[in-house]
Structure 1
Amino acid sequence: MKQARIPNETELKRLLAVVVTTRYSARNRIIVMLSYYAGLRVGEIAALKVGDVYDADGNVREQIALKAAYTKGNHARVVFVNAKLTRELEKFATSFKTTMDFDAPLISTQKRKAFSANTLCQLFMDLYSKAGIDGASSHSGRRSFITKLAHNGVSTKVIMTLAGHKHLTTTQRYIDVNDEMMRKAVEVL
């Protein structure tokens, strides 16, 4: 099975520029950010509730506790929210028209209903298509997240846990390698 392509920095900027032009730009941006900065699967993004991400005071949680029902393997896990994602989620909170409904979907359709994972996949495909990024999919952000962690020296065991994988071989398949990375690796010697 062909892996989702990982967009480079220029392509990611182009994707975000396209997102700004969309009707629901704040929602679409946070979808992309959850994929790239937290490594979430589309099903996990679609399942999130406002209360999973924001506390009773409306502050961004430091950790998102993914319930077992949200995850692919039906195993609960914790997602750590980094500083970049925290800033994005703080900006996104300003898009709520009224007080936060903590039981409402974090990401909702124009009819205020939760997205299905399939519909969210289609949205990702549409955004990548508009940005002219071939081979990318809803899994591209997740692959980017895992690959960046690996290239920054994070232990594969830690990456495996953050990704919610049961097997190291699964995590290893996500890590992309290119000539520049191999060049840097041999320069360490």
Structure 2
Amino acid sequence: MKQAQVLNEIEFKRVVAMVRDGKHRKRNEVALCLSFWVGLRVCEIAALKVSDVYEADGTVKEIVNLSASQTKGGNSRQVIINQKMQKLLRVYCLQAQSCNFDGPLLPSQKSQKHFSSNSLCQVFWRIYKQAGLSNASSHSGRRTFITRLANASVNAKVIMSLAGHKNLSTTQRYIEVNPKQLLSAVNLV
């Protein structure tokens, strides 16, 4: 089975620019960036509540605790929210029409309730299709996140922990190797 496309910086910027011009721009940008900058799975993004991400005073949390019911595999885990994501979430909260503390972080347009994982996958698919990325999927952000960390020489155990994987072999399957990296590696000899 072919893996989801890893986006380069130009492709990612193109997708974000397209989302910013579209319907539900802030919600969709937050969803994309939670995938690309935090490495969350679509099921985890769909399950997020406002109270998972924000303190009662509206401050964005640096560490988000995902419950077992919010994750794949039924194991709770902690997720680190980087500074770029915190900034985007601060703006998102300010622009949200109603910030129901116990409500979904990303409400669906129809019911204002949580997206199902499948519905959010379809949102990602439409976004990538509009951006002209035929091999991208809802998993592209997560693969890009993990690949970028590996390319930045982050310790494999740290990447595994950030991804919420139990086995290093799972994390390694996410990492894309490109010809430029291969050339750089052989030139070290």
Bin of the TM-score, shorter chain as denominator length: over 0.9
How many residue pairs match? The answer is 188
Per-residue CA distance 1:8-53 (angstroms, 9 max, x = gap): 1111111112101221000000000000000000000000000000
Structural mapping, 1:7-86, within 5 Å: 7-86=7-86
Give the match for residue 174 of structure 2: 174
Q: Which runs of 5+ in 1 are unaligned?
A: none
Residues 6, 102 of structure 1: alpha-carbon distance in 2 compared, 3 angstrom cutoff? same
Give the match for residue 129 of structure 1: 129
Give the match for residue 107 of structure 1: 106
3-state SS, counterpart of residue 23 of structure 1: coil
* Structure 2: distance between partners of 1:174 and 1:53: 26
TM-superposed CA distance for 1:156, in Å, is 0.9
Per-residue CA distance 1:43-76 (angstroms, 9 max, x = gap): 0000000000000110100111111101111111
3-state SS, counterpart of residue 64 of structure 1: strand
Give the match for residue 149 of structure 1: 149
TM-superposed CA distance for 1:188, in Å, is 4.7
Per-residue CA distance 1:119-169 (angstroms, 9 max, x = gap): 000000000000001100000000000001111111111111111111111
Point out the more displaced range, 82-91 or 125-134: 82-91
Identity of aligned pairs, percent? Answer: 50
* Structure 2: distance between partners of 1:156 and 1:2: 23
Please, what TM-score do these two structures have when normalized by structure 1? 0.96
One-letter identity of the residue aligned with 2:103: A
* Structure 2: distance between partners of 1:49 and 1:136: 26
TM-superposed CA distance for 1:182, in Å, is 2.1
* Structure 2: distance between partners of 1:17 and 1:162: 27
One-letter identity of the residue aligned with 1:118: N
Please, what TM-score do these two structures have when normalized by structure 2? 0.96
* Structure 1: distance between partners of 2:83 and 2:8: 21
The 8 Å contact of residues 7 and 133 in structure 1, kept in 2 or not, is answered as no
* Structure 2: distance between partners of 1:185 and 1:54: 43
Q: Which runs of 5+ in 2 are unaligned?
A: none
Point out the more displaced range, 108-117 or 136-145: 108-117
One-letter identity of the residue aligned with 2:9: E
TM-superposed CA distance for 1:187, in Å, is 4.5
TM-superposed CA distance for 1:94, in Å, is 1.5
Runs of 4+ in structure 1 deviating by more than 4 angstroms, as ranges, are: none
